[in-house]
Structure 1
Amino acid sequence: MESLSPDKRGRLSDVLAPRLAQGIVVTVLSGYGIVTLLNVEYALRGRTRDLLVCGGAVLVLYAVQLVLTSARARRWSTGRKCAALAVQFVLTFFPLVWLDTAWGSVAGPLSASVLLLAPPRIAWPSFALISALVLGWGVHHGGGTVLDLAYLAISTGLTGLVVYGLTRLTDLVHEVHEARAEMARMAVTQERLRFARDLHDLLGYSLSAISLKCELIQRIIVSNPERARDEIASVLGVSRQALADVRLVASGYRDMSLAAEAVSVVNVMAAADVRADVDIDCGRLHPLVDTVLATALREGVTNILRHSKVQSCTIKATVEGETVELVMENDGVDAIGHSDSGDRGSGLGNLDTRLMAIGGSLTAGVESQGRFRLTARAPLRPVAPDPADAAESQECPNGGGGSAAAIRVLGRRAV
């Protein structure tokens, strides 16, 4: 028979754990019930009627206790809990009063039930009181030697504590099992959100660039075939990058460079016949910050490329103190229909989420000059980088130095 994989064994263990815990509680209660019945038989040997009555009381007592070990019993109303405790109280002390005798651990289930159902400020004093009542009953009725009296008190308290402890442990097993299931569902949801966010942020730009370049090729293929061939090669490069992006999104890992994205932006803006003034001069950045700002640049450019009325845009990235700031401005606001309302859409919403995760912020809206302005701010040292990112940041602690990447492109326009 084929052995189970580690993942299947783990899932099987998760399913069996609550059942195993509940099974242990049932087994222990059954064992205590049998021990109590043996004590009853020993105390009432030869008294058949009394033995049957007390044996039935013990069976009902432990049956009620088994019901009270379920997690649902802790959610009962106060009246229902009091009724259950009253039934157990009668079943526990009725044999003592009627037969004028006592046997060990008979009050154990009642002690456990009090601990499980009553508030702590009432439960523990009541627990001690029950043990004291059993001990006092034994002393008052001449329950034997000191060892016999000690056995009555200790067995009562110990039975209550064992049943209470096992029941609470079973509850904890169920809670842990449910918590793990909820965490698994949350992890799946987060992964779906990540996948959707990365697809939007990474592929939106690439697909927009491919569309614009194909339109440009269609316009110039007859009049300027050499330029058309160059643009076809550029489209192939963008499409290959898009394919690589899809694979990286699927693997859950994606590092991007703000400087590299700026170079790509210049070429794409030129193909779209949009004047782009690009000034990226922020040195070497932490990989996580670099990726988030590069994603912000992609999303901003994607929004610009969607609107053919845009004639010019300005992109600038600078470092001020411990903060790096990326600013994008473009005209054509009236045609675009930008607004500074709270509805940011999925693209800007994704960017806001990414920036907030590293301690940054995002603002977007129409300026007084009638130009749309998007500002992304991020700390040079992210708030909570991944361990791998943290290790890499040791090599560039100030977010600068090293091989500084600086790009200044002014007045680029399609030919």
Structure 2
Amino acid sequence: MHSDTKDTSDVTGSRWSPRPAPRLAHVILLAALICYLGITAINLLSQGPSTPELITGLVTLSAVFGLQLLHSRPGADRAAPWSKAATLCAQALLTYLPLAFFGILWGAMAGFLGGSLLLLLPPRAAWPLYGVTGLSLLIPGIIGGMSVVDLVYMCQSTLLTGLVVYGLSRLSSLVEEVYAARAEIARMAVAGERLRLARDLHDLLGYSISAIVLKSELLQRLIRAQHPRADQEVEEVLAISRQALSDVRRVARSYRDMSLVSEVSSAKSVLDAAEVEVEVVLAPAIEKISSQAGTALATVLREGVTNLLRHSKASHCNITAVVDDGTARLTIINDGVVENYHDPSPDSGNGLGNLKQRLDELGGRLITEREKEIPPACGGWFRLVAELPAQAVGRNSAEQSQKIGRINPNGAF
């Protein structure tokens, strides 16, 4: 049922805003920064400054606040090195120069600088500089004639301020990343369940129904000559079986729409985990091919990577996907071919023969080549090429119904 009310449920089923935790983390960070700045502003006011001094202090505090927000934002550590150096130098100047006018009352700003150093710099450099920043306030304290206890308290409070700024900023960034990851995990879980259902339909129901069709055709040929009534009944069973097989194929295909770009990323991750060196060339035009063509090539890629991992000792793999003159072409090349390998598994899923049939239905073809002499130490190279029209679409329902009973020798569909 269509509804005009916008559903704000997140992946956990909550009916509230899908981003309460990131927003709350940002609010807490902002409140903490404002409180620290407010304390410094109150300290300045307590000294009864002149109007120009007060305006200068408030403007400088605002500039420090703006720089700190810039440094505390998510992803600030990924900024360009020159940008980080420029903003850190500006914050350092706004931290130490006002000490000459306001004295130790400005010392809390050194804590902001320490937090920014921890946020933007690599740990090996950040932590020593953070410590130096805290100890640097000993100089104005000693000049001002502060006691040892006050000096220790001032350095400790400065370092604590830096830790609070760093911790709240990192917490805000981590909460943002966790929420983004949660949505991605939910999407991947849904996609995985859809693929599992399609695989079960394909490997189990498809095989069984194909066997029914094959047996019915055989029975029909045996009894047609002498038993007209039986022939009629078998014809009805055969029609039902063919329709069931057509329905299973349709459901499996609708659930197995896949993105070639996503599948390339997944294949690279799997091969990297298997310590296979991967080179990927993905033409931008590949994203504009039809969904049927993309699904077919993604299926070929998945089967090719599976075969690579199961049937070879590959150490290198090239994956290329391009569009040339209206033809989408996927090429997978790997080394480490195992001599005379034979897979004994009776239900190994989508084989090369099944992939050829899928591409044939879309007006494409599948090519496999093997080079045994290069390099001889690992058995040779294996090349798998799948090509089809970039805007290929499946055959219409009438054509599928007429050819639904043509089962391949393995019984797969």
Superposition TM-score tier, normalisation by shorter sequence: 0.5 to 0.7
Rounded Cα–Cα distance in structure 1 between residues aligned with 2:246 and 2:346: 29
Task: After superposition, give the CA deviation of every residue in 1:40-71 in whole Å (9 maximum; x if it has no partner).
Answer: 222x3142221221121111101110111112
Aligned amino acid, residue 25 of structure 2: A
Greater mean deviation of Cα atoms: 223-232 or 99-108: 223-232
Greater mean deviation of Cα atoms: 216-225 or 70-79: 216-225
Rounded Cα–Cα distance in structure 1 between residues aligned with 2:343 and 2:175: 50
In structure 2, relative to structure 1, the CA distance for the partners of 1:170 and 1:6 (3 Å cut) is closer
In structure 2, relative to structure 1, the CA distance for the partners of 1:219 and 1:104 (3 Å cut) is same
> Which residue of 140, 144, 151 corresponds with 1:141?
144
* Contact in 2 for aligned 1:210/1:235 (Cα 8 Å): yes
* Contact in 2 for aligned 1:40/1:55 (Cα 8 Å): no
Task: After superposition, give the CA deviation of every residue in 1:65-110 in whole Å (9 maximum; x if it has no partner).
Answer: 0111112321111111111111111111111123445344121110
> Which residue of 145, 151, 154 corresponds with 2:156?
154
Q: Secondary structure at the match of 2:108?
A: coil
Rounded Cα–Cα distance in structure 2 between residues aligned with 1:113 and 1:157: 12
Aligned amino acid, residue 166 of structure 1: L
Task: After superposition, give the CA deviation of every residue in 1:323-349 in whole Å (9 maximum; x if it has no partner).
Answer: xxxxxxxxxxxxxxxxxxxx9x87x94
Aligned amino acid, residue 23 of structure 1: V
* Contact in 1 for aligned 2:9/2:16 (Cα 8 Å): no
- Please report how far the alpha carbon of residue 134 of structure 1 lies from its aligned counterpart in structure 2 after TM superposition: 0.9
What corresponds to 1:186 in structure 2? Answer: 188
What corresponds to 2:130 in structure 1? Answer: 127
TM-score (norm 2): 0.54
> Which residue of 376, 389, 394 corresponds with 2:345?
376
Counterparts in 2 of 1:12-27, with a 5 A limit? Answer: 12=16, 14-27=18-31
Q: Secondary structure at the match of 2:137?
A: helix
What corresponds to 1:225 in structure 2? Answer: 228
Counterparts in 2 of 1:338-377, with a 5 A limit? Answer: 349=303, 375-376=344-345
What corresponds to 2:43 in structure 1? Answer: 39
What corresponds to 1:196 in structure 2? Answer: 198
- Please report how far the alpha carbon of residue 122 of structure 1 lies from its aligned counterpart in structure 2 after TM superposition: 1.3
Counterparts in 2 of 1:182-261, with a 5 A limit? Answer: 182-205=184-207, 206-207=209-210, 209-210=212-213, 213=216, 217=220, 220-221=223-224, 223-225=226-228, 227-228=230-231, 231=234, 235=238
Rounded Cα–Cα distance in structure 1 between residues aligned with 2:149 and 2:139: 14
Aligned amino acid, residue 71 of structure 1: P
In structure 2, relative to structure 1, the CA distance for the partners of 1:11 and 1:147 (3 Å cut) is farther
* Contact in 2 for aligned 1:95/1:101 (Cα 8 Å): no
What corresponds to 2:319 in structure 1? Answer: none
What corresponds to 2:377 in structure 1? Answer: none
Aligned amino acid, residue 98 of structure 1: F
What corresponds to 1:171 in structure 2? Answer: 173
Rounded Cα–Cα distance in structure 2 between residues aligned with 1:49 and 1:240: 88
In structure 2, relative to structure 1, the CA distance for the partners of 1:157 and 1:11 (3 Å cut) is farther
Q: Is 1:84 aligned to residue 53 of structure 2?
A: no
Rounded Cα–Cα distance in structure 1 between residues aligned with 2:104 and 2:182: 49
Structure 2: runs of 5 or more not aligned: 1-6, 256-296, 311-339, 348-413
Q: Secondary structure at the match of 1:71?
A: coil
Q: Is 1:29 aligned to residue 33 of structure 2?
A: yes
In structure 2, relative to structure 1, the CA distance for the partners of 1:241 and 1:154 (3 Å cut) is same
- Please report how far the alpha carbon of residue 221 of structure 1 lies from its aligned counterpart in structure 2 after TM superposition: 4.7
Rounded Cα–Cα distance in structure 2 between residues aligned with 1:10 and 1:349: 38
- Please report how far the alpha carbon of residue 16 of structure 1 lies from its aligned counterpart in structure 2 after TM superposition: 2.1
Rounded Cα–Cα distance in structure 2 between residues aligned with 1:214 and 1:13: 59
Q: Secondary structure at the match of 2:344?
A: strand
* Contact in 1 for aligned 2:115/2:163 (Cα 8 Å): yes
Q: Secondary structure at the match of 2:345?
A: strand
* Contact in 2 for aligned 1:104/1:151 (Cα 8 Å): no
Q: Which has the larger radius of gyration?
A: 1
Rounded Cα–Cα distance in structure 1 between residues aligned with 2:89 and 2:12: 46
Aligned amino acid, residue 30 of structure 2: V
Aligned amino acid, residue 152 of structure 1: M
TM-score (norm 1): 0.53
Aligned amino acid, residue 376 of structure 1: S
Rounded Cα–Cα distance in structure 1 between residues aligned with 2:62 and 2:227: 97
Aligned amino acid, residue 124 of structure 2: R
Task: After superposition, give the CA deviation of every residue in 1:117-158 in whole Å (9 maximum; x if it has no partner).
Answer: 111111111111111111231122224x44433332122111
Greater mean deviation of Cα atoms: 211-220 or 70-79: 211-220
Percent of matched pairs sharing the same residue: 35
* Contact in 2 for aligned 1:202/1:245 (Cα 8 Å): no
Rounded Cα–Cα distance in structure 1 between residues aligned with 2:11 and 2:200: 28
In structure 2, relative to structure 1, the CA distance for the partners of 1:55 and 1:24 (3 Å cut) is same
* RMSD of aligned alpha carbons: 4.4
Rounded Cα–Cα distance in structure 2 between residues aligned with 1:117 and 1:6: 32
- Please report how far the alpha carbon of residue 218 of structure 1 lies from its aligned counterpart in structure 2 after TM superposition: 7.8
Rounded Cα–Cα distance in structure 2 between residues aligned with 1:130 and 1:53: 23
